[in-house]
């Protein structure tokens, strides 16, 4: 009995919040953070705004194990050229830890972007 209880506790401790039933809570927290950090001035989860829909970003880099670090740097420093001519300005005031959280999460997104033809919805 005691052992079983311990196992359950351990499993809960090592399971990331977004792996199980907490996905919705994780999503809510990340969306809040994206608003707070200004990402959603230019992005949406499943729509192109100025920047690409995050589901489209996830789709593009899904099989690229190096994408995460590269994208963290890109979000910090800004840049253009991967999704058209529009420019992502540097997000230097956003703490790196938050950028890592946001990029890590957005790369897990699944689904289809509503606008995929490159036309800005704005």
Closest to 75 in 3D by CA, of 87, 65, 66, 63: 87
State the Cα–Cα distance between residues 73 and 52, nearest whole angstrom.
Answer: 17
Residues 6+ apart with CB under 8 A from 46: 53, 54, 55, 111, 112, 113, 114
Please give the span between the terminal C-alpha atoms of the chain, in angstroms, as a whole number: 58
Span of 4-12, 15-23, 97-105, 108-116 interacting with ligand HEC by CB under 6 A: 97-105
Using CB under 6 A as the binding rule, whether residue 47 contacts ligand HEC is answered as no
Quickly tell me which residue has 């703490």 as its tokens: 95
Span of 3-11, 13-21, 32-40, 111-119 interacting with ligand HEC by CB under 6 A: 32-40
**Beta carbon of residue 11, minimum distance to ligand HEC (angstroms, whole number):** 31
Q: Which of 15, 36, 38, 73 binds ligand HEC (CB under 6 A)?
A: 38
Using CB under 6 A as the binding rule, whether residue 15 contacts ligand HEC is answered as no
Chain residues in the site for ligand HEC (CB under 6 A): 37-39, 41-43, 50-52, 57, 71, 74-75, 79-84, 86-89, 91, 94, 99, 102-103
């Amino acid at each position: 009995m005691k052992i079983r209880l311990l196992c359950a506790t351990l499993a809960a401790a090592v399971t990331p919040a977004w792996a199980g039933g907490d996905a919705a809570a994780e999503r809510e927290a990340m969306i809040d953070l994206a608003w707070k950090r200004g990402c959603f001035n230019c992005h949406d989860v499943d729509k192109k705004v100025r920047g690409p829909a995050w589901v489209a970003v996830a789709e593009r880099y899904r099989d690229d194990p190096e994408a995460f670090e590269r994208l963290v740097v890109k979000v910090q420093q800004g840049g253009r050229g991967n999704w058209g001519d529009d420019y992502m300005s540097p997000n230097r005031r956003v703490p790196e830890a938050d950028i890592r959280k946001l990029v890590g999460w957005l790369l897990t997104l699944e689904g289809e972007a509503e606008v995929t033809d490159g036309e800005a919805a704005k």
